Amino acid sequence: MRPHLFSSPQLVTACLTAACIVFGLPTAIPGPARAEDPPHVKIENFVFTPATLTVKAGTTVTFENDDDIPHLVVATDNSFRSKALDTGDTYAFTFTKPGDFPYYCGIHPHMQGKITVTQ
Amino acid sequence: MTSHHDDKCCDGINRRHALECMIWAGTGVLWTISHGAPVSLSMLGEAKAADARSSGFTFLQISDSHIGFDKAANPHAIDTLKEAIAKVHALPVKPAFMIHTGDITHLSRADQFDTADQIIGGAGFDVHYVPGEHDVIDDGNGRAYLDRYGKRTKGAGWFSFDQNGVHFVGLVNVVNLRAAGLGNLGSDQLAWLADDLKGVSSSTPVVVFAHIPLWTIYPEWGWGTDDAAQALAMLKRFGSVTVLNGHIHQIMQKVEGNVTFHTALSTAFPQPAPGTASAPGPMTVPPGQLRGLLGITDVAVTKGKAELAIIDSTLAT
């Protein structure tokens, strides 16, 4: 039996997305983020996507390299640094302290992103 | 910036005129010292052998061999490096030595360095290396490179040497890169360079080589070096300066005063021209076109002048 329209996950997602827009939360992400998705930054075409990501303290963010070229994820304040990520490799870091954590690619430093950690 | 990527070598040029067409094999560039200025020379053509013999001194540049790369743009980077070395062996004039302008490996792994050493070192030439950013991404942030190639170098691997009256300087601009920055030489290396050049007379031809271009080609893709201007200022007093780089996997050239800037092709895979793709990653072309893009590039040289003019063509033509 098909789920009832008003309990569908798609509708919940749509409402959350609408709430983000209404309350000015970051929406610069490709497609709607589903609440159940673990925080994830994709590296593709020499770009970190999403470029900015807001998570709560204690959240583990996973970076995944989808390029044919290796990349490194390096915090501007050196608080974290991945190994060289070959195609398909991932790097996970748990953000414990609130604040803004800009980062860049250690070998392509024009590639930049930011993780904002809230309480 | 000057580049002529779609030009054909020698079309409309009388070979007997002052402009002399010289052929580059895209997988390597043979240089000769002529009238105090390095000029490139045919790797393939017998016609230029006489020039090399008269100068008595040639050297060869290869770049961006990316051993370990096996993706769609070229699943056989080992084979294309072997082909490049085979061309070196086939040269009518044996180069005095080779330079490799970095990205020897794709991931700085020991087995990748081993494979590169077997192929490049197996050619029987002295090889002077500078690292690319792909050569310093081991867990030791460049330790693996230095352990292997850094024995007679300073700092992150910079060095100089003299050969037949030419002063050669190998620089490293791929370490300690800063967020939003380009390639980086750093104050230690710049201080060393100033000291190194002190004892070199202004009439001595200077060849500087490094991985990332020492002039700003396309900052949006990181194709330049932040503090290169400081190095170039030190080189201003020299009558002939040639700057050889890799990194961008395509030939570009600029002449500025007495300085000729030049980038070499890769032996592994092509990259897009600046701004012609969303990103500078490996460019996949139909299989039949790959060696064409790694292929022959022609250089027209006005003898007696420090300036090189580049006319590119492909191996497929």
Measure Cα distances from A39 to A50, A60, A87, B29 in Å: 10, 7, 19, 47
Full-model pTM:
0.80
Closest Cα in chain A, distance from residue B181 (Å)? 6
pLDDT of residue A99: 97
Where chain B has pLDDT below 50, the residues are 1-27, 35, 41-55, 295-317
Question: Between A and B, how many CB-CB pairs are < 8 A?
Answer: 62
Task: Specify the pLDDT at position A19.
Answer: 40
Are B227 and B185 within 8 A, CB to CB? yes
Q: How far apart are CA B49 and CA B272, in angstroms?
A: 33
φ, ψ of residue B128 in degrees (nearest 5): -105, 120
CB contact under 8 A, A110 and B180: yes
Residue A56 pairs in a beta bridge with A118
Q: What angle do CA B106, B107, B112 make, to 5 degrees?
A: 75
CA A104, CA A76: separation in Å to the nearest integer?
7
**Ordered DSSP codes for B180-243:** T--BB--HHHHHHHHHHHHTS-TTS-EEEE-SS-SS-SBGGGTBSBTTHHHHHHHHTT-S-EEE
Residues of A at the B interface, defined by Cβ within 8 angstroms: 45-47, 67-70, 72, 74, 76, 83-84, 86-87, 102-104, 106-110, 112
ipTM above 0.90, yes or no: no
Q: Do B134 and A45 touch (CB under 8 A)?
A: no
Share of chain A above pLDDT 90, in %: 68
- pLDDT, tens only, A41-79: 999 999 999 999 999 999 999 999 999 999 999 999 999
- Helix B228-235 and helix B187-198: axis angle, to 10°? 10
Of chain B, the end-to-end C-alpha distance in Å amounts to: 25
Q: How far does the CA of residue A25 sit from the closest CA of chain B (Å)?
A: 26
- Residues from chain B that touch A68, judged by Cβ atoms under 8 A, are 69, 71-73, 281-282
pLDDT reported for residue A56: 97
Predicted pLDDT at B30: 61
- Mark out the alpha helices in chain B (DSSP H runs): 49-55, 77-89, 110-116, 143-149, 187-198, 228-235, 287-293
Query: Cα separation of B35 and B55, whole Å?
Result: 9
The answer to whether the bond into A50 is cis (omega within 30° of 0) is yes
What is the pLDDT at residue B100?
93
Q: What is the mean pLDDT of residues A2-11?
A: 38
Find residue A75's DSSP bridge partners.
A103
Give B13-38 as a DSSP string: --TTSSEEEEEEBTTBEEEEEETTEE
Q: What is the pLDDT of residues B97-144, one digit of tens each?
A: 889 999 999 999 999 999 999 999 887 889 999 999 999 999 999 999
Amino acid at B127: V
pLDDT at B33: 59
pLDDT at B29: 62
Gap between the Cα atoms of B300 and B280, Å rounded: 28
Q: How far A103 CA lies from chain B's nearest CA (Å)?
A: 7
pLDDT at B95: 81
- 110-169 of B, contacting A, C-beta below 8 A: 133-134, 137-139
